[in-house]
Chains A and B, each alone.
Chain A
Amino acid sequence: MDRVEIESRLRDVLVSELGLDADKINTAANFEQDLDVDSLGVVELLMAMEDEFGVKIPDDEAEHIHTVGEAIELVHTKLNA
């Protein structure tokens, strides 16, 4: 799966499952600062990503995901490993 498709599917998950504002989602968007995702929301986000892409994201890797772009990169790495 390439980054474009990952971004598209991630965007859908963020909007439809987490209720985030579609207009604010871009690769530079910071989950906590720009998208108003609190600490519980970050966990929900990671679970949604695991379900959507069939990957596992342990806590020590999750710590490094702060932006939409970083989330896309992590998924891309796992899917293409």
Chain B
Amino acid sequence: MPDGASALALVFGGDPALYRIVALSLYVSVAAVLLAALVALPFGAFLALVKFPGRTFVVVVLNAFMGLPPVVVGLAVYLLLSRSGPLGFLGILFTPHAMIVAQALLVMPIIAALTRQTVEDLWAEYREELTAMRVTPARRVTTLIWDARFSLVTTLLAGFGRAAAEVGTVMIVGGNIEGFTRTMTTAIALETSKGDLPLTMGLGLVLIVLIILVNALAWGARRVGEIRAG
């Protein structure tokens, strides 16, 4: 990225390096949320519907994990994926794949915890009806998740917000490699440490605008969906 250029000039000037960074940030965080959702949505629904010994403990720990420090997650994943670690053979350390996995782990608790709450509330409403219809537990999970889909969009957005905003995880497992694993947040951290404060503020603004855009899009999709599904 050219030194001293303001970030806005870069955006309008179509700097390919900036576009690549923005694209990677979106790709990593969106993929991480989708991957996390695959696990966390059913798990959260399961927690809401099934009473088992130790459930309260699991719920408490899950809620606590919403606040897992990103650097800690980054470090744990780094140790797992290092060539000297148990999953080193995968060879994905310092690549976007590792960043996606690490961020997915980071946002799983928040998606699961919020899903649990949403599904629990919906189950209170649906319990009698679904029990009367003799719906199997597995089908209850999918039915509740589908019927709660609009609230769950907000949950996914919460996960996306956490992923897109963090820097500790992706810095450690991605390595901030220029043109390869550099995201908006790691670029901001780098340029700050190089003392290029106007550039970092510009980058920060771009990041915020991006997050707002994603939220607006999701909110729009939610409204359209709600109107159509009643």
Are A and B associated in one complex?
A: no
B residues lining the A interface (CB < 8 Å): none
